[in-house]
Structure 1
Amino acid sequence: MPFPRVLRDLTARLTDPVEALDAADLAVRVQRTGCTHVADVARGDRVTLTGRIRTVLSCGGADFLGLTAEVFDGTGAIEVCWLGRRTIPGIDTGRFIRVTGRVGVRDGHRIMYNPRYELLDGQPCRTVEESRDRA
């Protein structure tokens, strides 16, 4: 790697906001799992996404849809909605999750309704060995 690039990368790591560094790290981890990035999906695509749950919302009242979570993968976010559900054990802010389903659009935002999901222990990783190494 040329010296100016090394210096530029080091300077970026020291001066970039923590959120940007965290997002870049998460995007690399998601890429290693073989899952699609949120930034690369379009309406109608059937995909598997992995990311961190940033928000969880369960609305009551007349406009009740269900439990909605925002999943962030470092490149973008997608809403995930389980229709008719008020709670799902394990769906909590900060938890890592893998979801599979078809992407739709609601109010200009990407959304996935009633996806299959897998709660992950810790951050996403490529292999079982990598997860054992971290434990």
Structure 2
Amino acid sequence: MTTGLRGFLNRLTASDSELDAEELQRDSAKCGAVPAGACRRGQVVSVSGRLRTVAYTPRTNLPTLEADLWDGSDVVTLVFLGRRSIPGIEPGRQLTARGRIAIRDDRKVIYNPYYELEAPR
């Protein structure tokens, strides 16, 4: 079977979530972002993807806004310290975030990232 036919058959039988993950990975690679699955602790990276969840976490000493960024390979949690909300940071939005990867509870995290929102589709 040729590569083109194999790729066509794979796309034909793939689930919607698999196709979405492939599209996100392609978009991420186009903008020069590091795949979230390849990010390691201590690295300064640029990651790009779609926000899956956004949650305000009230804490007694420091409120935080946490957003899970999915790029098709893995999730990086963006943590905005001292924020209750940020205009444009909402589930479904595409963005690119830059910062140093930390690990918290076995999850990849970027604290107070620089970010650029993409225009809504």
Give the TM-score taking structure 2 as reference length. Answer: 0.92
2:43 to 42, 45, 51: 45
Greater per-residue helix proportion: 1
1:76 to 66, 70, 74: 74
Distance 1:98 1:4 in 2: 36
Higher gyration radius (CA): 1
Distance 1:22 1:64 in 2: 35
Give the TM-score taking structure 1 as reference length. Answer: 0.83
Runs of 5+ consecutive residues of structure 2 not aligned to the other structure: none
Amino acid at match of 2:2: P
The equivalences for 1:21-40 within 5 A come to: 21-40=19-38
Superimposed CA distance per residue, residues 27-67 of structure 1 (whole angstroms, 9 cap, x where no aligned partner): 01110111111111100001111111010010224485400
Greater per-residue strand proportion: 2
SS at match of 1:79: strand
RMSD: 1.6
Amino acid at match of 2:99: G
Superimposed CA distance per residue, residues 68-112 of structure 1 (whole angstroms, 9 cap, x where no aligned partner): 000011111100000111100110100011111100000000000
What is the aligned partner in structure 2 of residue 20 from structure 1?
18
SS at match of 1:6: helix
Runs of 5+ consecutive residues of structure 1 not aligned to the other structure: 124-135
Matched length: 121
What is the percent sequence identity of the aligned residues?
35
Q: Which runs of 4+ in 1 moved over 3 A?
A: 61-65
